[in-house]
């Protein structure tokens, strides 16, 4: 098993930015990670708008950001590029995201078993980090014994 070394952060960043076309298409940017936690940014972009009257981004864009950040937190927790797939994700939308502002998601993988990882995630604007936009809870299946580039399902 390949265990990620000191270059962990750079490898995670590369995986998020280049290995996942949908994250790239949405404009996601890796911010940081440490000890089972990952932060990813989603800059405001008119193409993400879900309501043209309010210019608020679509809930689906927040879903994609939180799914990606939760998955990244699992990689960080495992300290190895083991493929994982989302089993379920519950998202509560606490308030609309503010137009023109970047959204950050911070996910914590707080428990892993042999087969399942449990993650919680918060989305917020970095300048008002305590006033949350959304919270999520997710579970992920871990495909141990498979290489990331192999037959696993990483979302």
Partner 1 sequence: MNPLADIVRAAKEAGNFAVLVEAIPYLRFLGVTVESIGGELVGKMTYSPPLVGNASLPALHGGAIGALLESTAILQTLWETETLALPKIVTITVDFLRSGRTVDTFAKGTITKQGRRVVNVGVEAWQEDRARPIARANAIFLVQLPEE
Shorter beta-carbon distance to partner 1: residue 28 or 108:
28
Shorter beta-carbon distance to partner 1: residue 24 or 35:
24
Taking the complex as a whole, the smallest distance from the CB of residue 25 to partner 1 amounts, in Å, to 3
Q: In angstroms, rounded to a whole number, what is the distance separating the alpha carbons of residues 101 and 77?
A: 29
Of 61, 55, 142, give the one whose Cα is nearest residue 103.
61
- Binders of partner 1 among residues 14 to 53 (CB under 8 A) are 19-26, 46-53
Taking the complex as a whole, the smallest distance from the CB of residue 75 to partner 1 amounts, in Å, to 13
Of 143, 21, 12, 8, give the one whose Cα is nearest residue 82.
143
- Binders of partner 1 among residues 86 to 105 (CB under 8 A) are 86-93, 96
Q: Find the binder of partner 1 among 65, 74, 108, 119 (CB under 8 A).
A: 65
Is 76 buried (19+), middle (13-18) or exposed (0-12) by CB count in 10 A? Answer: buried
Q: Does 60 bind partner 1 (CB under 8 A)?
A: yes
Q: In angstroms, rounded to a whole number, what is the distance separating the alpha carbons of residues 114 and 68?
A: 21
């Amino acid at each position: 098993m390949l265990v990620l070394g000191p270059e962990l952060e750079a490898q995670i960043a590369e995986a998020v930015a280049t290995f996942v076309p949908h994250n790239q298409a949405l404009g996601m940017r890796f911010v940081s990670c440490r000890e089972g936690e990952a932060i990813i940014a989603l800059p405001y972009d008119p193409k993400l708008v879900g309501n043209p009257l309010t210019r608020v981004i679509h809930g689906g864009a927040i879903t994609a950001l939180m799914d990606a950040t939760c998955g990244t937190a699992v990689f960080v927790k495992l300290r190895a590029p083991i493929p994982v797939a989302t089993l379920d994700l519950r998202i509560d939308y606490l308030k609309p995201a503010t137009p023109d502002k970047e959204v950050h998601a911070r996910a914590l993988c707080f428990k892993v078993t042999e087969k399942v990882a449990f993650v919680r995630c918060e989305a917020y604007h970095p300048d008002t980090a305590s006033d949350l936009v959304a919270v999520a809870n997710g579970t992920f299946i871990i495909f141990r014994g498979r290489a990331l580039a192999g037959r696993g399902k990483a979302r």
